[in-house]
Amino acid sequence: MDTPTITVWDIDLAPEAPDASVHGLLTAGELDRAAGLADPVHRSALIRSHAAARVVLADYAGVPAGRIRWTTGPHGKPAPAAGGCEWNLSRSGTRALLAVTRGPAVGVDIQREHPHGDPWALARRFFTAAEADRVGSAPAGRERVSRLCQLLSRKEAWAKAAGGRLLQFLRRDARGPAPKQWNGDDYFLADLEIGPGFAAAIATTGRTPGPVDYHTRDWRDLCALN
């Protein structure tokens, strides 16, 4: 049996356009959540990423984007919207990743690489000893930040694929291609190469991620398809 393709949409949320133009795609709850964000960049990122996700998912489901609705699990992972697809959304700054597949559960994460204090100290405090050694073996500075963020991205993607909380995965080794165990299931993690300044990863349940069909889009262009 062929491994189902995972499509990853790398969405640029920075280009300016009135957010109100896509308000009709979001629920009242989402708009209230966005309104409660003090930072206008974060507010726009939430609105634009959720609108763009609906347009993509609507194409899978064969329904208008305004009809796409989802619920969230106990730890925030959105439930499948429609069309028999599994999907996951992550954003960092003015960039978002949306992963969609007709295969088993998927998780995706993007992290803007920026100092989180002392990367090696943080890795020793929160990660496994082997992961802390990997961070500490890099030259001090940007390379340590990059390694910390890549490991964190893998853990986030794994937690999202499993429908768990990040806290449950911090002390679990996320290195390498070997399957990871959680609640009796196998999870496979892979890095996504998305350019300098960001770390990203994808996780799937019960199989390797397989082929990734990667697209970059401006959020306005995606929403114009609605």
The model's pLDDT over 7-42, given as tens digits with 9 standing for 90+, comes to: 999 999 998 888 888 999 999 999 999 999 999 999
Q: Which pLDDT does position 5 carry in this prediction? A: 87
> 104: which 2 tokens?
């088993």
Cα–Cα distance, 226 to 213 (Å, whole number): 21
> 65: which 2 tokens?
């984007």
Domain residue spans in the chain? 7-224
2 falls in which pLDDT band (50, 70, 90)? low
Average pLDDT, the chain: 90
Cα–Cα distance, 178 to 169 (Å, whole number): 16
Query: For residue 177, which of 165, 187, 167, 164 has the smallest C-alpha distance?
Result: 187
> 87: which 2 tokens?
């999907």
Q: Which pLDDT does position 80 carry in this prediction? A: 62
The model's pLDDT over 131-180, given as tens digits with 9 standing for 90+, comes to: 999 999 999 999 999 999 999 999 999 999 999 999 999 999 999 988 99
Give yes or no for residue 1 having a pLDDT over 50. no
Average pLDDT over residues 93-103: 92
Neighbouring-strand partners of residue 212: 6
> 77: which 2 tokens?
């992972």
Which residues are CB-neighbours of 206 under 8 A, at least 6 positions away?
104, 185, 186, 187
The CB density around residue 58, as the number of other CB atoms within 10 Å, is 21
The model's pLDDT over 136-148, given as tens digits with 9 standing for 90+, comes to: 999 999 999 999 9
The model's pLDDT over 182-197, given as tens digits with 9 standing for 90+, comes to: 999 999 999 999 999 9
Q: How far apart are the first and last CA of the chain?
A: 34
Name which CATH class applies to 7-224.
alpha beta
pTM of the shown model: 0.93
The model's pLDDT over 61-91, given as tens digits with 9 standing for 90+, comes to: 888 888 888 877 776 677 665 567 889 999 9
In this structure, the chain runs to a length of 226
Contact status, residue 72 vs residue 79, Cβ threshold 8 Å = yes
Which residues are CB-neighbours of 113 under 8 A, at least 6 positions away?
142, 145, 146, 149, 197, 198, 199
